[in-house]
Every structure is written in C-alpha cells, then in structure tokens.
Structure 1
C-alpha cells in the first residue's frame, strides 16, 4: 500500500514538496499532489498515494498483478482516484493548503484535477441494458468493506451500493496507525457516517438497519476487526456482528469456487480498475463484482453472524468457502 507518514515541516518552496513526493509518482509526472496537513490527526500529514492502474488478470491465481486500466466505451478517459479526496482532505477542491505562490498553486490545481479522479461513481457505472435478471433484495444498501495493510498501517475503505438500483451512493475511507490515528477515532468517524445514512444509532446500538457489510472472505470482520479492537482495548461494535461473504454467495449462485476478487473478475471477464491491494480500489472492484452479480440475478444474504462480541461466528451457508 503506497501510503506514507511524514512530519509536516514548514515548506518554503514547491521544490521541497516536489522532492518529498517523488517516490509516490511515476517519473513521467510533471507536478505531484502536495502533502496536505491534517490538523486533527496529531500533526501528521499523509503523503499522497496514487491509485494507479493495473494488468488484465492472468491465469496465475488470485495474486496475479494487473497493469492496464480498462478501456470503457465512455469518452471520458480513466483516471486514478485522488486518495486525499476519498478521505475528505483534497485541498485542490477546498482551496486550502500550504502557502505557496499563487502561480504554482493554480498550476498544481489544474494539473491535479486533470490527472486524478474525484468522483468514484465514474468507476462504478450501471449497465441497465444487461439488468433484466435483477431480483428484489431484502436489504436496501450494501457496504463493501475491504481492509488492507499490516501492523503499521491499516486502510478502512467502504463503498456503498444501492441494493435495488445497483448504483454507487457514497464511500467512507480512512487510514489509521497506532501512533498517529487511533482506531477509536476511525470508528467514531465511521459511526458518524453510518448515522448520517440512518443505518445505525449510537444510543440504540444493534446491527445495521436496512444495510449489510459485504466482504470478499471472512477475514475482515471475523479476524482483523476483533483483533484490532483487542489491541485498542475497545469492545467490538455491534454493527460488526454480521456480514455477507461474497465468496459464499458466488459459490452458491454460479456453482463454482472463487478464491478471491481476482478469480471472480477473471471468471466474469471483468478488467480490474486501479491497483490490486490498494483498499479503496479493491473495494471498488469488489463493488463492481457485486453489481455484476446483482445484474445476473444473485440475491445477497447474510452468511455469517456473531451472537456476542466475544462469541464464536456462526456460518449460515452449508455450502461455503472454508
């Protein structure tokens, strides 16, 4: 994952910013996105991570690396996603940032907005002409979650899809680190987000209302989130007690096993968008698989449940990926 943490120095010229951001951009880039100050994150800044394009899937398995972005029929060219934007911190849209000269600032703005995508819906179009098999869903919204990272950094991206129209609705994206952004802070921001969408109320607790998480595997909510809660010494939130494992839905709907997102996309002949193992891009690609499966007539159902924060997980499908 191409995210790095740097201490925010007092920048006096754009050349210092250029040298700091060099590792995060391709050599062909003329100007790189500037480092954005994040005051509420204990004074740390997040160096811009670029959501780059990848190759069409090979037959090497789920770890296959992909290199070329898809060539959609739309006239609008594909662009990597601005990861400042996904976290609500893109200064190019708000007009805030380091105090550089107006000429450089305006040039940076123009090139940045031309180079990077600031609208996730462009990567999640709905093909209504191929949606004649769509079935009614018991839920109204799907929250596609795909955690990424190791011990140092963990990326928390969620892409919201309307269960009935299959359209992209909204997204949540945060990166946390034990010594920079406490996990509790990430959860508070996420709870504000799901409360805003009326999926959950802090005073009431309980499971999500009219929505469910979709993960590609059980690891995210069966293992990683509970593990992170123990490390952060907080109780597992009630909205993480149940989820939909897309691998199990895929197995039972298409009657074939898929070891992960890349296998699904290869079998469905779908090109990847962005970079594999960049969380927000993986969440978008999993959401695209969900859109395709809904169009094919799949019904999304809860596949795993916990009875309590410390209880064992009950798997609801007899035919499932182990």
Structure 2
C-alpha cells in the first residue's frame, strides 16, 4: 500500500491531507510473485482542487481526481475486489513504507477526520522500513536505499502511489528471499 494524498509546499498551518490515490499490490509470499494490483484515484472532499506542487510531486492530474469516486466508494470497491483475490481462509497483511499511510492518511485523516469506514483488516500492517532495519540491523529509510541493498533499481515514478507500491512489493519479496519473516494474521 502506498497512498498519495493532497499536499502543498509550504504546508499551510492546520492542513489536513486527503487520500487521492489508493494503490495496492498483492504478493503471494509462498510463490514469491505479484498476483494482482488495485489502483483508483480518489476525489478529495474538502480540497477538491489540487495544488500545482501536489500535481508535480505525484503526477496526479486535476482531471484524475475530478473524475474519481469519493474515498468511501473506493474503499468499498477495494473490499469487494480483495475478496475475489485472497482465497478464503488465507491470511494477509499490508506492507507500507513507513507508518504514515495507515496511521495518518488512513486512520487519522480518513477515519477520524472524514468518517470513512475502513474494514478491520486495514489495521493489520507492517512497516517495510522497520522490517528491513530489524532484519539487517541497519537503517535504510528510503525505498531507493532498500532496493539498492538488494541490487535492484527503482521502477517507475517516485511518488506515484502504484509505482511506489510495486517497489515496496519488490522489497518485501527480496526480504523474504533473504530469510526475513513477516507476521501472519489469522
């Protein structure tokens, strides 16, 4: 998972970001492969007009978000989609690049600020940076550095949610190949 959200530079005081890209890459940890992807742009409710900074940073256009459904609709679509991807009885956990996607964008802003209902499984996640640091006993805080460690290069556009999610998936697979284990969820 690597949500992208509204942003501006400099960040105005009291600024509350809204998710504008909702990308998820599903990895089969047993077969060590990417099995599916979900991506949707999201129409922001409070700040419907993107800043020039946000469009430049993320590559998301005003037309992308204007034509997109609101966050609750995207969450509901994702839930239906995921139920067709994950076999019944199989466990899964989200991997993110830091706590911000789930703690800030999803929970603090999506749930608490805007009242969006996320399924319970969104509260099961790991921070891939933390897993990497714990496994190797070192601090590599950026996607590029973790990829470099495995002899991989970043693929796609930085701050494109779907490209970042694909690269997080590649890091997760490389960690598994190196012998790292992730928590299982019943």
Q: Which has the higher helix share?
A: 2
Aligned residue pairs total 151
Match of 1:210 among 91, 96, 110: 91
Matched position secondary structure for 2:175: helix
**CA 1:198 to 1:250, structure 2 compared with 1: closer, same or farther past 3 Å?**
closer
RMSD: 2.1
Contact 1:157–1:171 (8 Å) recurs in 2 = yes
Aligned residue for 1:211, secondary structure, equals coil
| C-alpha distance 231-273 of structure 1, shift in aligned 2 (>3 A) | same
Q: Which residue of 1 aligns with 2:2?
A: 146
Q: Secondary structure at the match of 1:264?
A: helix
> How far apart are the structure 2 equivalents of 1:262 and 1:231?
32
Partner of 1:188: 76
Q: Deviations over 1:133-152 (max 9, x none)?
A: xxxxxxxxxxxx11113246
Relative contact order, CA 8 A, sep 6+: which one is greater? 2
1:113-132 to 2 correspondences below 5 Å = none
Secondary structure of 2:138 counterpart: coil
Cα pair 1:148 1:154 within 8 Å, conserved: yes
Distance 1:195 1:254, change over 3 A: same
TM-score by length of 2: 0.73
Partner of 1:286: 168
Please give the alpha-carbon distance, in whole angstroms, between the structure 1 residues aligned to 2:114 and 2:18: 14
Q: Which runs of 5+ in 1 are unaligned?
A: 1-144, 201-207, 303-322
1:249-307: CA deviations, max 9, x gaps?
Answer: 111211111112122123333111111111111111111111111111111126xxxxx
Alpha-carbon distance in structure 2 between the residues aligned to 1:166 and 1:268: 15
Runs of 4 or more off by more than 4 Å in structure 1? Answer: none
Instruction: Report the TM-score, using the length of structure 1 for normalisation.
Output: 0.44
Distance 1:292 1:164 in 2: 13
SS of the aligned residue for 1:273 comes to coil
